[in-house]
């Protein structure tokens, strides 16, 4: 009866997490509306009003999807993950050959839905399905010694396959796939010898990819040279020189403008919509929106936003620690790591701690695919949190039998 009532509860799951999500979603409207003027006046793409409406549409749609995820049992989603992952792998293959390019660059990341003007990035959904699949597989086999061929085929295989399909056009996401997958294996209690083996195989796979991209024509239109240029630019920007390098300044333009926006914001900021650098900062509505937030809302505004994210991460860890089912706990922690890594990378790029890479700020950056995937992640986490009370009522403790674990997964 309790579970039936929870199914129709408006804010199903952890109420604190719901509050944080709603606050960040509501706040996102203001910096996106301000920064989207760059798209209108510099990029000549749409109007600020149209971008605002589009962003608000994805916020509302994302919240609806997040709530809709709570209708289904997360265990069932886990069981479907292998099928969904296979479907996403097929879409990744199609994207490699027919995907749309971004701003005339060599990266074909977008796939257009036939008969509609809607495009999306299959890599984001493939990344999500891969992590859910790994969580379920590791839960199903938690106490049985796996044969090496099983780990290679069922764990290493899917991870390296998705990595290979994504790496050509989206190096940062591909690297994050490897990092988060490794974290899932560690938390999922995979034997250390296999984890070391995964690290070694991943290193070899990265080496082979770079060799083929740089020394042969087997991987056409790859972005390896762009990545190397960004790393070189980042490294050189950290060196103190007496003579200013104009070419370096040109390559480091985005970071310089982002740092200028952060400094310009000061302690209290210039005020909502009053950014002076949003027109000069490329990708100010997406990849570098954190710099615009600091400029308009100041150090205190940025600190408040980071505090909301911190509360989000803390609540995710608390949900995972309270969940008696191993699959639910592993899934929540894994999804939390995905969100944290994306958040950390976006902010680190804005403050020039790591080389420039295109990772959006969760729930804020302009862009439909990333927002919807984040809302799905949070929907799954809220789904698990809503089940904690159910498990308590059924008398399921922290220690479960292997049969219970396998049945749950």
pLDDT digits over 197-229, tens only? 888 988 888 888 888 777 777 666 666 777 777
The reported pLDDT for the residue numbered 240 is 52
pLDDT for 147 beyond 80: no
Rounded Cα distance, 233 and 222, in Å: 19
SS3 content of the chain, % helix, strand, coil (to 5): 70, 0, 30
> Per residue in 47-101, pLDDT tens?
888 889 999 999 999 999 999 998 888 888 888 999 999 999 999 888 877 755 5
pLDDT for 21 beyond 70: yes
pLDDT tier, 104 (very low <50, low <70, confident <90, very high otherwise): very low
pLDDT for 403 beyond 60: no
Higher pLDDT: 374 or 211? It is: 374
The reported pLDDT for the residue numbered 96 is 78
The reported pLDDT for the residue numbered 100 is 57
| DSSP assignment of 347-405 | HHHHTTSS-----PPTTTSS-HHHHHHHHHHHHHHHHHHHHHHHHHHTT--S---HHHH
Three-state secondary structure call for residue 100 = strand
> Per residue in 240-274, pLDDT tens?
544 455 555 666 778 888 888 888 888 988 988 88
pLDDT tier, 41 (very low <50, low <70, confident <90, very high otherwise): confident
pLDDT tier, 275 (very low <50, low <70, confident <90, very high otherwise): confident
- 258, two tokens: 């982002």
Averaged over 135-160, what is the pLDDT? Answer: 81
pTM above 0.75, yes or no: yes
Averaged over 333-357, what is the pLDDT? Answer: 91
Helices (H), 253-367: 253-265, 289-322, 326-350
**Burial class for 313, CB neighbours closer than 10 Å (0-12, 13-18, 19+):** middle
The reported pLDDT for the residue numbered 390 is 58
Averaged over 112-141, what is the pLDDT? Answer: 85
The reported pLDDT for the residue numbered 103 is 46
Q: What is the mean pLDDT of the chain?
A: 82
Enumerate helices (H) and strands (E) in the chain, giving the number of each: 17, 3
The reported pLDDT for the residue numbered 28 is 93
> Per residue in 156-208, pLDDT tens?
999 999 998 888 778 888 899 999 999 999 998 888 888 898 889 888 888 88
pLDDT tier, 282 (very low <50, low <70, confident <90, very high otherwise): confident
Cα distance from N-terminal residue to C-terminal residue, the chain: 23
Averaged over 113-142, what is the pLDDT? Answer: 85
Q: Could you tell me which of 331, 249, 332, 350 has the C-alpha nearest to residue 292?
A: 350
Percent of the chain with pLDDT over 90: 38
The reported pLDDT for the residue numbered 306 is 96
The reported pLDDT for the residue numbered 119 is 77
Helices (H), 142-239: 148-150, 157-167, 171-187, 192-215, 224-237
The reported pLDDT for the residue numbered 220 is 65
pLDDT for 118 beyond 70: yes
């Amino acid at each position: 009866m309790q579970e039936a009532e929870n199914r129709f509860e408006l804010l199903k799951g952890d109420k604190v997490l719901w509050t944080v999500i709603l606050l960040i979603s509501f706040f996102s409207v203001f910096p996106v509306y301000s920064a989207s003027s760059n798209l209108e006046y510099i990029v000549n793409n749409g109007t600020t009003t149209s971008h605002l409406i589009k962003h608000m549409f994805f916020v509302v749609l994302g919240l609806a999807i997040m709530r809709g995820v709570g209708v289904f049992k997360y265990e069932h989603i886990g069981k479907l993950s292998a099928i969904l992952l296979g479907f996403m792998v097929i879409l990744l293959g199609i994207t490699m050959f027919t995907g749309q390019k971004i701003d005339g660059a060599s990266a074909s990341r977008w796939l257009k839905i036939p008969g509609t003007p809607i495009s999306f990035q299959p890599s984001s959904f493939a990344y999500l399905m891969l992590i859910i699949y790994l969580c379920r597989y590791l839960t199903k086999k938690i106490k049985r010694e796996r044969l090496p061929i099983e780990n290679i085929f069922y764990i290493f295989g899917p991870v390296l396959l998705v990595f290979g399909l994504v790496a050509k056009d989206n190096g940062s996401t591909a690297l994050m796939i490897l990092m988060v997958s490794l974290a899932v294996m560690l938390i999922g209690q995979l034997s250390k010898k296999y984890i070391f083996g995964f690290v070694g195989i991943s290193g070899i796979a990265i080496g082979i990819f770079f060799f083929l991209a740089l020394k042969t024509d087997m991987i056409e239109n790859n972005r390896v040279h762009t990545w190397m240029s960004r790393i070189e630019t980042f490294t050189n920007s950290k060196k103190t020189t007496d003579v200013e390098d104009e070419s370096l300044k040109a390559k480091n333009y985005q970071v310089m403008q982002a740092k200028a926006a952060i400094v310009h914001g000061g302690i209290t900021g210039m005020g909502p919509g009053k950014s002076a650098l949003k027109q000069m900062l490329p990708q100010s509505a997406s990849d570098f929106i954190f710099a615009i937030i600091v400029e308009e809302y100041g150090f205190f505004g940025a600190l408040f936003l980071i505090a909301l994210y911190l509360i989000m991460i803390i609540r995710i860890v608390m949900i995972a620690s309270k969940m008696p089912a191993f699959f639910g706990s592993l899934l929540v922690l894994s999804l939390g790591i995905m969100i944290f890594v994306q958040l950390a990378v976006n902010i680190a790029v804005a403050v020039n701690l790591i080389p420039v890479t295109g990772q959006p700020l969760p729930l804020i950056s302009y862009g439909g695919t990333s927002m919807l995937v984040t809302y799905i992640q949070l929907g799954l986490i809220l789904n698990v949190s809503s089940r904690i009370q159910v498990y308590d009522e059924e008398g399921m403790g922290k220690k479960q039998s292997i049969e219970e674990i396998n049945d749950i997964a």
